[in-house]
């Protein structure tokens, strides 16, 4: 299959970041550590799923000002057998970088059987991730249906905790189409036992609306539920605005395709131990 133009731009961006990260030298010590979901993130900014799908940047993203890399989206059906080497446990030098894995159901699988597919992915990835993000994809019939999926995954996660030093954090992605009734939807997922909500702003009409939505969700979430904002973050200034609005963590994807390397330099200055960035 011929890669799309966006896929090619993403590959080139990952390659550029890898060169920049490996050339940086000693690991940077972030000046904005964040505690969330029982984890210590060296910085509040992470790479969103779909950017570095297979984890090429796991060895160097911490040098660029990132606190986490979210891999995937992966499914149990097509990714369990051939995990790339970066999915193995990290080397001591990069233990502070947090690793998320976005998981979804196999394409074409009836939603009546979705729980089984997410549970297979949970078993495949739980020992090699700091947190899992449950991605409903584009065709989940309703938030209520995905609440059932999330509750099943959390219950299975709790049974697997004996294999880990701590429980694996579970994050649920909230696509933009579900945010019309954001508070009720967030409360439902909080009730499922999820540890965090990945709130997508893809296609949002205004940044002010995104910030207002995060503020409302922060009231519902309280201190226990971690809010992660993704979509439309193209500057350190916008990332900071999301954090002030109520997000605990922020993820970047498309901004790196259009503003790299200037955005990366700004991130390094702000989050990798340097001075305050102006962007």
Residue 197 CB partners (closer than 8 Å, separation 6+): 171, 172, 173, 174, 186, 189, 190, 217, 221, 225, 226, 227, 228
| 214, 244 contact by CB (below 8 A) | no
Contact 16, 260 (CB under 8 A): yes
Domain span holding position 52:
5-24+33-271
Q: Is residue 127 part of a domain?
A: yes
pLDDT value at position 78? 59
Lowest-confidence region among 185-189, 245-249, 268-272, 273-277:
273-277
Establish if 77 belongs to a structural domain: yes
Provide the pLDDT confidence category of residue 187 given band limits of 50, 70 and 90. very high
For residue 16, tell me if it sits in a domain. Answer: yes
In the prediction, which pLDDT does 32 show?
80
**CATH at 176:** 3.20.20.70
User: Which pLDDT score is estimated for 30?
Assistant: 55
Q: Do the bridges between strand 34-36 and strand 39-41 make them parallel or antiparallel, or are there none, so unpaired?
A: antiparallel
pLDDT in tens, 243-259: 999 999 999 998 998 87
Indicate if the pLDDT at residue 227 is higher than 90: yes
CA distance 79 to 73: 10
Give the pLDDT confidence of 191-213 residue by residue, as tens digits. 999 999 999 999 898 999 999 99
Query: Both ends of the chain: CA-CA distance in Å?
Result: 38
Residue 148 and residue 163: Cα distance in Å, rounded?
24
Residues 102-132: tens digit of each pLDDT: 999 998 899 999 999 999 999 988 888 999 9
Task: Tell me what pLDDT residue 86 has.
Answer: 40
Give the three-state DSSP class for 277.
coil
What's this model's pTM, rounded to 2 decimal places? Answer: 0.90
**Helices (H) and strands (E) in the chain — how many of each?**
9, 10
CA distances from 5 to 11, 27, 234, 273 (A): 10, 33, 19, 34
Q: Is residue 277 a part of any domain in this protein? A: no
Within-domain flag for 93? yes
For residue 20, the model assigns a pLDDT of 87
**Residue 278 located in a structural domain:** no
Backbone angles phi, psi at 270, to 5 degrees: -85, -40
279 found inside a domain: no
Asked if the structure places residue 232 within a domain, the reply is yes
Print burial letters for 181-216: b (CB count within 10 Å at least 16), e (below 16): ebeebbebbbebebbbbbbbbeebeeeeebbebbee
Rounded to 10 deg, the angle between the 182-191 and 143-160 helix axes is: 30
For 125-176, write each residue's pLDDT tens digit.
Answer: 888 899 999 999 999 999 999 999 999 999 999 988 776 667 899 999 999 9
Q: Count up the domains in the chain and report the number.
A: 1
How far apart are alpha carbons 94 and 114 in whole angstroms? Answer: 34
How high does pLDDT run on average in the chain?
87
How does DSSP classify residue 96?
A: T
CA–CA separation, 207 vs 238, rounded Å?
9
Determine the pLDDT at residue 91: 43
């Amino acid at each position: 299959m011929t890669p799309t133009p966006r896929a090619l731009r993403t590959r080139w961006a990952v390659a550029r970041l890898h060169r920049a990260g490996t050339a940086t030298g000693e690991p940077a010590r972030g000046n904005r550590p964040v505690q969330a979901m029982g984890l210590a993130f060296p910085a509040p900014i992470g790479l969103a799923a779909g950017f570095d799908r297979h984890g090429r940047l796991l060895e160097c993203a911490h040098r660029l000002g990132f606190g986490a890399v979210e891999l995937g989206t992966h499914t149990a059906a097509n990714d369990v057998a051939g995990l790339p080497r970066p999915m193995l446990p990290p080397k001591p030098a990069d233990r502070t970088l947090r690793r998320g894995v976005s998981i979804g159901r196999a394409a074409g699988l009836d939603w009546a059987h979705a729980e089984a597919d997410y549970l297979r992915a949970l078993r495949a990835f739980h020992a090699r991730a700091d947190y899992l993000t449950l991605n409903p994809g584009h065709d989940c019939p309703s938030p209520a249906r995905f609440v059932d999926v999330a509750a099943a995954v959390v219950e299975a996660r709790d049974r697997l905790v004996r294999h880990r030093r701590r429980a694996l954090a579970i994050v649920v992605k909230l696509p933009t189409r579900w945010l019309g009734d954001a508070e009720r939807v967030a409360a439902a997922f909080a009730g499922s036992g999820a540890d965090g909500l990945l709130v997508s702003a893809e296609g949002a009409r205004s940044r002010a609306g995104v910030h207002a939505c995060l503020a409302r969700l922060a009231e519902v979430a309280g201190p226990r539920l971690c809010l992660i904002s993704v979509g439309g973050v193209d500057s350190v200034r916008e990332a900071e605005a999301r954090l002030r609005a109520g997000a605990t963590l922020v993820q970047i994807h498309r901004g790196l395709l259009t503003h790299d390397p200037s955005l990366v330099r700004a991130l390094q200055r702000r989050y990798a131990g340097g001075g305050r960035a102006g962007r």
